[in-house]
C-alpha cells in the first residue's frame, strides 16, 4: 500500500433512490458489470415522494459527506406524481440549506430510469469525485462533537492522535 | 428618530367589538367568542373565551393584543369548545393563518364568525405592555405588514385607522444581509442561534399550523430528530420546523415572540415564504388556497438543479 494513501479521505455518499427507476438503473449498472465508486451506499424507497428532507439531515449527522437523491424521470413515476411533489419539496429544501450555510455541491438530485445504468455510473462518479475534492463534511459532525469535545476537528491534538494511528 | 404610531382608533374598536360580541352571543349566532381581555399586569392582555353576552365588556383591543387567537380553533387545543359557531377576533396576520387552516380543511367557514380588526400595529413584546406604540416598540412583523385590514370578515368595526408611517422593513433587510454573507458566515450565524434553543417547544405550541396529534420530532421509533437540546438536534429541529411550515406559515410571528431564547424563527419562515413566492407564485393571503405550494405541482416546474 502506498503510505501516502494511508489516511486518504474516502467520501461517504448516501444515495436515496426510488425502487422503480433508479434502483433498477443501479441494478442494471451492476449486472452489466459497469464500474462505479464503492463510496455510495444505496437506500431504497418506494418513491422519491417518500424521501423526507429529515433523512438528509439525519444522513449528514451520521457522517455522510455527500448525498444523492434520485428517482424516475418526470412523467414516469410509478405512483403518477410522487416525483413532481419531491421536485418542489427539494427545490424548497435546497433554498433552506443554502440559507443556513450548507454547501449545495454536496447534494445531487437526478432522474435515472431503469434503463440508464450508464447515467447512474456518471452521476455517482461525478458526485463522489466532487465531494472527494471538497473534503469531509465537518459542519454537522462538529455540532455533534461540540458536547463532547471543546476543540475543533482540526485541532493539533486531534491531528497528532490521528497521525499516530 | 422615533416616530409615534397613531392608535387612537383602538378605543373605538374596543367599543365596537364589545357591542358586536354582545349582539351575537345574545341572539345565539355564536356559542362563544374568542378575544382579548385585560390581564393582571397594568396594560397587558391575555386571550379569553366568553360565552355569555354579559361578559362582552371584558373584551378589548389595544396595542398589547399580540396573540394570534386562531391557534385556539385548532384541534390541538382540546380545552376550547369546538361545538357550534364560534366568534373570533382576528387581525390581518391572524386571519391569514385562519385562511390557511380553512385551506387545509381544519376549519369550516360556516362554523366561524369572524370579527376583523382594522389593525394599526401591535407591540413587539409585553415586556412593557403600557408602552406607547412607536417605530421602536412596534412588532417587527408590523413594520412590513401589507395586510393590516382583514378582508372577508363577518364584522369589522367601522373605524378608520390611519395606517402606518413608512418604517424600515426588518425581515426582508435581515434576509438580504444574511444572503450576502458567505456560506461559512451564515453557518456560524445559525449555529449560534440554534445552539440557544432549549427545546421548550413553545414555538410549536403557539403555531396555528402545528396541530399534528403527534409531531415527527416527538417520535422515537425511529427517532428522526434528537429530542435533547443539544447543538445537532437543535439544528435538525429548526430545519424540520421550517420545512413543515414552508408554504403554510402565515407570518404571524407568534413563534418568534414566544421564544424565550430570542431565536429569530420568523426569519426562516419569511425566507421560505419569499422563495416559494418567487418559485411558485404562491403565498399566504386572505383567499383560501385549495393547495399550498408544496402540496401541489406543475409539470413544468423548474428542474435546473436536477441532473
Ligand atoms: S410558523 Fe410562526 S409565524 Fe408562521 S404561522 Fe406558525 S407561529 Fe405564525
Ligand atoms: S420556542 Fe425557542 S427555545 Fe423553545 S423550542 Fe422553539 S426555538 Fe427552541
Query: What's residue A4's pLDDT?
Result: 62
Q: Ligand 2: which of B195, B199, B256 to mutate, judged by most atoms within 8 Å of the beta carbon?
A: B199
Query: What's residue A3's pLDDT?
Result: 56
Percentage above 90 pLDDT, chain A: 75
Beta-carbon separation of B279 and A61 below 8 A: no
- Cα of B256 vs centre of ligand 2, distance in Å, is 8
Query: What's residue B228's pLDDT?
Result: 85
Task: Return the closest-CA partner of residue A77 out of A50, A56, A54.
Answer: A50
Q: Tell me if residue A41 falls in helix, strand or coil.
A: strand
Residues of chain B under the 50 pLDDT cut: none
How confident is the model over A136-155, as pLDDT tens digits?
998 988 887 776 655 566 77
Beta-carbon separation of A87 and B306 below 8 A: yes
How confident is the model over A55-93, as pLDDT tens digits?
999 999 989 999 999 999 999 999 999 999 999 999 999
CATH topology of domain A3-164: Rossmann fold (3.40.50)
Q: Which among B225, B296, B297 has CB closest to A54?
A: B225
Give the global pTM.
Answer: 0.90
How confident is the model over A14-62, as pLDDT tens digits?
999 999 999 999 999 999 999 999 999 999 999 999 999 999 999 999 8
CB A112 within 8 A of CB A120: yes
CA separation for the pair A34, A24 (Å, rounded): 14
Taking CB atoms and a 6 Å cutoff, what residues make up the pocket around ligand 1? B 97, 206-209, 245, 249-255, 266, 269
Q: Cell 421536485, residue?
A: A87
- Cα of B261 vs centre of ligand 2, distance in Å, is 7
Domain boundaries, chain A: 3-164
Chain B residues closer than 8 Å to A93 by CB: 243
CB neighbours of residue A83 within 10 Å: 27
Burial class (CB in 10 A: 0-12, 13-18, 19+), B8: exposed
Alpha-carbon dihedral sign for residues B155, B148, B138, B4: negative
pLDDT band at residue A161 under the 50/70/90 scheme: confident
Sheet holding B45-50, edge to edge: B45-50, B32-38, B86-90, B112-116
Question: Which residue's CA is minimally distant from atom 8 of ligand 1?
Answer: B252
Query: What's residue A1's pLDDT?
Result: 46
CA separation for the pair A90, B89 (Å, rounded): 37
Query: What's residue A2's pLDDT?
Result: 55
Query: What's residue A151's pLDDT?
Result: 58
User: Phi, psi (5° rounding) for residue A11?
Assistant: -65, 145
Domain boundaries, chain B: 10-144, 171-280
- Cα of B228 vs centre of ligand 2, distance in Å, is 12
What dihedral angle (degrees, nearest 10) is formed by the CA atoms of B119, B121, B126, B130?
-90
CA separation for the pair A162, A160 (Å, rounded): 5
Beta strands in chain A (DSSP E): 13-18, 40-45, 66-71, 107-111
Amino acid at each position: 500500500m502506498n503510505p501516502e494513501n494511508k489516511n486518504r479521505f474516502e467520501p461517504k455518499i448516501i444515495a436515496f433512490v426510488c425502487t422503480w427507476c433508479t434502483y433498477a438503473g443501479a441494478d442494471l449498472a451492476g449486472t452489466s458489470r459497469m464500474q462505479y465508486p464503492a463510496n455510495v451506499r444505496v437506500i431504497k424507497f418506494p418513491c422519491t415522494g417518500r424521501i423526507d428532507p429529515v433523512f438528509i439531515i439525519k444522513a449528514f449527522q451520521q457522517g455522510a459527506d455527500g448525498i444523492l437523491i434520485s428517482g424516475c424521470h418526470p412523467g414516469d413515476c410509478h405512483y403518477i406524481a410522487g416525483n413532481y411533489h419531491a421536485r418542489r419539496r427539494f427545490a424548497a429544501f435546497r433554498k433552506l440549506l443554502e440559507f443556513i450555510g450548507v454547501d449545495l455541491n454536496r447534494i445531487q438530485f437526478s432522474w435515472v430510469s431503469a434503463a440508464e445504468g450508464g447515467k447512474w455510473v456518471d452521476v455517482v462518479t461525478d458526485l463522489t469525485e466532487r465531494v472527494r475534492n471538497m473534503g469531509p463534511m465537518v459542519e454537522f459532525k462538529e455540532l455533534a462533537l461540540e458536547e463532547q469535545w471543546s476543540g475543533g476537528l482540526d485541532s493539533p491534538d486531534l491531528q497528532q492522535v490521528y497521525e499516530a494511528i | 428618530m422615533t416616530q409615534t404610531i397613531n392608535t387612537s382608533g383602538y378605543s373605538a374598536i374596543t367599543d365596537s367589538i364589545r357591542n358586536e360580541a354582545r349582539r351575537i352571543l345574545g341572539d345565539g349566532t355564536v356559542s362563544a367568542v374568542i378575544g382579548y381581555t385585560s390581564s393582571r399586569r397594568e396594560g397587558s392582555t391575555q386571550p379569553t373565551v366568553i360565552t355569555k353576552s354579559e361578559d362582552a365588556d371584558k373584551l378589548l383591543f389595544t396595542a398589547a393584543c399580540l396573540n394570534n387567537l386562531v391557534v385556539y380553533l385548532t384541534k390541538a387545543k382540546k380545552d376550547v369548545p369546538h361545538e357550534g359557531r364560534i366568534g373570533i377576533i382576528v387581525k390581518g396576520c391572524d386571519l391569514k393563518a385562519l385562511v390557511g387552516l380553512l385551506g387545509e380543511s381544519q376549519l369550516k367557514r360556516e362554523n366561524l364568525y369572524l370579527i376583523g380588526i382594522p389593525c394599526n400595529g401591535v407591540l413587539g413584546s409585553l415586556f412593557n405592555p403600557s408602552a406607547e406604540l412607536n417605530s421602536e416598540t412596534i412588532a417587527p412583523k408590523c413594520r412590513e405588514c401589507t395586510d393590516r385590514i382583514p378582508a372577508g370578515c363577518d364584522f369589522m368595526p367601522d373605524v378608520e385607522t390611519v395606517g402606518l408611517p413608512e418604517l424600515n422593513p426588518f425581515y426582508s433587510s435581515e434576509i438580504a444581509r444574511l444572503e450576502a454573507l458567505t456560506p461559512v458566515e451564515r453557518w456560524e450565524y445559525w449555529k449560534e442561534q440554534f445552539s440557544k434553543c432549549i427545546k421548550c417547544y413553545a414555538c410549536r405550541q403557539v403555531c396555528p399550523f402545528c396541530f399534528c396529534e403527534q409531531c415527527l420530532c416527538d417520535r422515537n421509533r425511529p427517532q428522526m430528530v434528537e429530542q435533547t437540546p443539544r447543538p445537532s438536534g437543535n439544528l435538525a429541529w429548526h430545519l424540520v420546523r421550517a420545512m413543515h411550515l414552508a408554504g403554510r406559515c402565515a407570518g404571524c410571528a407568534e413563534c418568534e415572540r414566544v421564544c424565550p431564547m430570542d431565536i429569530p424563527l420568523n426569519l426562516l419562515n419569511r425566507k421560505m415564504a419569499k422563495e416559494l413566492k418567487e418559485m411558485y407564485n404562491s403565498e399566504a393571503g386572505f383567499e383560501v388556497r385549495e393547495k399550498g405550494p408544496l402540496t401541489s405541482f406543475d409539470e413544468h416546474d423548474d428542474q435546473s438543479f436536477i441532473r
